[in-house]
Amino acid sequence: MVNTTVADGFKVKAESLEAAITPKTKWIILNSPGNPSGAAYTRADLEGLAVVLRKHPHVYIMSDDMYEHINYDNFEFTTMAQVAPDLFDRTLTVNGVLKAYSMTGWRLGYAGGPLDLIKAMTKIQRQSTSNPCSITQIAATAALNGDQSLLGRT
């Protein structure tokens, strides 16, 4: 685990990540913008983390982008898959319609990443939960394919 502080903007710094990784490390989870701190990783922040992660091919990256559209002060959202496409084979990006489209009670999310990982997730999910109802699926499709201007920057 990497502890963060107010001084570092509640963000994992490359040096801290490097010091924390061991042979037993399996995943790093990045939540940006973060809840509850609001910490948001810039392109430069992610590039620094990518340099470290390239040295540790046994570490997978989960990019929790649920708050992608909720940011302030002209922050430009960027995700690890954009910054380091060479790490795609071990990057899992998760998102959903919960926050940006005000569907918090509907619990519909999605993930993108390497096919083998997505297939494994599908196999587990299929055996442990049911699918979201048709109304939720239709509403999410409309939200994701509809007019995105409502997600304007503040």
The amino acid occupying position 70 is I
71 C-beta neighbours (distance < 10 Å), count? 16
pLDDT, tens digit (0-9, with 9 covering 90-100), for 11-22: 999 999 999 999
Contacts of 91 (CB under 8 A, 6+ apart): 60, 61, 62, 63, 80, 81, 84, 113, 114
- Whole-prediction pTM: 0.86
pLDDT in tens, 53-90: 999 999 999 999 999 988 888 899 999 999 999 999 99
Amino acid code (one letter) for 149: S
Would you tell me how many other CB atoms lie within 10 Å of the CB of residue 83?
Answer: 21
| φ/ψ (deg, to 5) at 129 | -140, 165
Please state the φ and ψ torsions of residue 28, each to the nearest 5 degrees.
-120, 135
Structural domains present in the chain: 14-151 (3.40.640.10)
CA 38-44-45 angle, 5° bins? 45
Residue 153 confidence (pLDDT) above 60: no
Q: Would you say residue 117 has pLDDT above 70?
A: yes
Which ranges in the chain belong to alpha helices (H)?
14-20, 43-54, 80-83, 115-128, 134-145
